[in-house]
A and B are shown apart, each in its own frame.
Chain A
Amino acid sequence: MAAPQLTPQEIWTIKEGEIRKPTSAHIAVFALLIGVGAVAGTFGSIAIPLGYGVTGFWPGVAVQAVGGIWFGMWGVLAGALFPFISNSLAGAPLYVSVAYFPSNFIQGFLPAWVFRAFKVDPRLRTGRDWVHFIWSAVVVNNFLGALWAVTALQWFGLITVASVPLFFSGWVIGNGVPALVFGAILLKALSPVVIRHRVFCKGWWA
């Protein structure tokens, strides 16, 4: 028998008497997201490298966005941490990865916050869901991420002011396209299962 359909309101609202607390399953999903992200991220970082871990195609961003939406802060933190591994394997120096931390954090955090705050259906069923997904998980998050990243690269003396547009656009496009394509595929394909899973986070931690 098919389980009853949940409304977006029901997906995100903690019912009266419902106890939700972090468990070892959240630790497991956090670690597993780092694993999946590192594999997906390394694939991208090596595919079309622009240098310093910036790449023309980075599917890792899809894991950041959906990770945050589904698993709250566990997904956001995993999304901010796995690039340390994928960037390192792609030859990015440690402190460049450190500098990217805020970018990678915001790329997962913004959609996670928007989906919770505006009760957006992670199954992307309506036009409204798509609009929120696109602005928060494809456009603005990557724009902010890129902004910080190029600032940090410049701060480290790794790029000049003049080459900012190249790296900025590389980051936004390299992240935006896979975030849109893979993010949407993942949300459409797996959200119906994930929202019923015990590791799904209605709040930030559980």
Chain B
Amino acid sequence: MEPTPLLELRGASVRLGDELVLDGVDFRLLPGEIHSLMGENGAGKSTLVKAITGALPLAAGVMTVDGRPCVFRNPLQAQRAGVSSVYQEIDLLPNLSVAENICLGREPRRFGMVDWPAMREHARRALDTLGVSLDVMSQLGTHSLAVQQLVAIARAVSTDLRVLVLDEPTSSLDADECAELFRVVRQLKARGAAVLFVSHFLEQVYELCDRVTVLRDGRCVGEYLTRELLRIDLVQAMVGDRRVARRLAPVLRVAGPQEPPYLSARGLVATGVHGADVDLLPGEVLGVAGLLGSGRSELARAMTGIDPVRGGVLRVRGDEASFPGPRPAIRLGVVYSSENRRTEGIISELSVAENITLALQAERGVLRRLPEARKRELAASWVEALDIRPADLDRPAGTLSGGNQQKVLLARLLALAPRVLVLDEPTRGIDVGSKVEVQNLVRELADNGVAVMFISVELDEVLRVGNRVAILQSGRVLETLAAEDLTVDSLTALVTGADGIDG
């Protein structure tokens, strides 16, 4: 017999405006389990999380906590009932001490004054239960994001925690930090709490979670035991029958062309890059794999004129070149797409059409304005070519899903007719379906003769997309191998090679 769920939703519906974004979903969290919520972007994952944590009201349905019906009007009420959440953007105060971040709002007081010694003690105990040792009087902002996340969990734990929601907690952590987080999460599980772990990383879900609930189009597809669920079935459940066949078609690999490299770097030195050799060949995708801190983005930025090059040689078609900034690089057909889609890429307020034609307009200069009609025509052709949905040119780009924003960014770069495309984490934070689309798109571009550099933390993706894979360690290219000769396991071993773990 199964234990009573700690938290249960029955027939839960949530309305945003006229749209029913969650439609009669049943969902439950058992004590002592780690539960994952999977689904494509727009499937209703974050809506469900918000409903549980009191950030959105239920339009219909009931929620019970410990068998008792509950309505949370705001996140604070949810916290008081033992339902806490830790978001990717941590809701803590970097300017205050760790102790205050754990205790504030229910800090111990004596005669109406904050009792600092008791607060320190309280915080230390909360961290202890997680097996984390930290100077509780240090300022939170002086710690890494990973540590801050643990502090956020400690804050949740220091109350009477029943349910902990972790929304994309690992997207900015490296492998060690993930391992530490997982250890803490397993400890919570051992203490009988229920953990809801929302992540785009299938691997992590399989490593950590006991049970998976899959959502699609605002409805619950099913609840599965992770160990009984094949990955392919999980993906199928997420994207639905109609699309899976096309999307998971193996990427066709054209035999590597033998043209000379369009862009090559020899002994490149820049911030975080210490003598890297890279060749980007037309018609080929070079996958770049490396740990956090191995200089992945730094290499990309140095090769595209974003960051200054301090040493080594860059050659374009065999001629020495230097990029004092991104503009000269663009003029030679070398373009870069940042990993920080939101802060360095998409301009949320501008329309899709504006976003797509932005770089082209900038390249032409203010005096040669693109005619409005030409702009729209251009944007429309890219929207169609890349299957950007919804296909509405006037929609503010910020309202699109992550995958579609990424496509808009790609379109912007492609409008420049680039010869070299450097993509830094183009699939981060987008759902499985869109990921495959972006991957296929990248392959198509290469097949049309563009040289692509494809950076990703997900090694299977690097292998799927790349013709060759450059393995990066401590700012150097350790080796460049043909993707056919590698497996995820052998690549993992290479990437995490003993001397590569830099401090």
The answer to whether A and B interact is no
